[in-house]
Amino acid sequence: MLNVISLILICVTAIPALSQSTSQYQVGTITSVQPHKGTAESDPSTAGYEVSLKIGNAVYVVLYTPPSGIETVRYATGRELLVLVGKQTVTFNDILGNSSEVPILSQSATGTQSSPTSAAQSNNPANVGPQQQAPIKSTEIIGLAGVKENTEGTLTIEDGKLYFAHSGAKSDVAVAAMEDVVTANDSQRAIRGTLGTLSMFGPYGSGRVLSMFRSNVDCLTIKYRDDNGGLHGVVFTMPVGTAESFKQELVAQGAHTTIPAPTNASVDSSRQVAVEAKQ
């Protein structure tokens, strides 16, 4: 009798494990957040956001409608979170552990044209073109003529030119003049600038702890010629997962690169160096 009860108990214990879904949570990175035009036009009070999630080699654009009054999603670019990808939805857990499910608007492999998966996309002109044409928040580290170092702005590609818009001004570089476009990965401190430097002197090593909070960024390095033939170089940083698609858009419009066919979306410099060495 005791054996039978034990066997039943073991079976009952095993049932939840067997009934678990075979799907697994993956780490996704938010690469951009754009207001969802359709929702904003119909009812501004319930504004939704098109959140681009890079999961592995795929980029999913999901429609996220935040709870009323909470707009923190607008600043979530670069954030990593655990997600479960379904057929039509993506499930994620918020910081309180509450599970939320959001619909997938479009899905694309990195570096390819986006393919519509729902009717919502056909109604949204923002999703018709390649995703990388949308303005990307970026920081110019060095090299752009007339722009101070570490200037924040947005990068766009329009009419065969790369535009960097910053504090009311706009600098441009002709895509055809680009001799080399290279991407890389890096990380930066979560707290930067003067505050970041001052935090180093925090008591009891708190500054050192703060410096361990870092966010990943992509680097985009461009070499180009001016009208006089002079060689220039410019380095941008941008949210993780965006540089490679941006590079491919530049190449598609006529820019040259020494790394024409990356095997992975997040190609780091050391890998590029290895590829060059093999060639």
Applying CB under 8 A, the residues found at the interface with other proteins are 141-143, 180, 182, 184, 186-189, 197, 200, 207-208, 211-212, 214, 219, 221-223, 225-226, 228-235, 269-270, 272-273, 276-277
Give the 3-state secondary structure of residue 154: strand
Q: Nearer Cβ to other proteins, position 58 or 141?
A: 141
- Smallest separation, CB 111 to other proteins (Å): 19
- Smallest separation, CB 246 to other proteins (Å): 15
- Smallest separation, CB 113 to other proteins (Å): 27
- Smallest separation, CB 32 to other proteins (Å): 22
* Percent composition of the chain: helix, strand, coil (DSSP 3-state, to 5): 30, 40, 35
- Smallest separation, CB 261 to other proteins (Å): 17
Residue 124 burial class via C-beta count within 10 angstroms: exposed 0-12, middle 13-18, buried 19 and up? buried
Tell me the three-class secondary structure of 59-77, residue by residue.
EEEEEECCCCCCCHHHHCC
- Smallest separation, CB 273 to other proteins (Å): 4
Q: Nearer Cβ to other proteins, position 87 or 213?
A: 213
Please state, in angstroms and rounded to a whole number, the distance separating the CA atoms of residues 71 and 65.
9
Q: Nearer Cβ to other proteins, position 57 or 272?
A: 272
Contacts of residue 269, Cβ cutoff 8 Å, sequence gap at least 6: 182, 184, 185, 219
Q: Nearer Cβ to other proteins, position 28 or 153?
A: 153
Q: Nearer Cβ to other proteins, position 89 or 211?
A: 211
Outline where 20-129 has alpha helix (H). Answer: 37-42, 119-122
Q: Nearer Cβ to other proteins, position 54 or 223?
A: 223
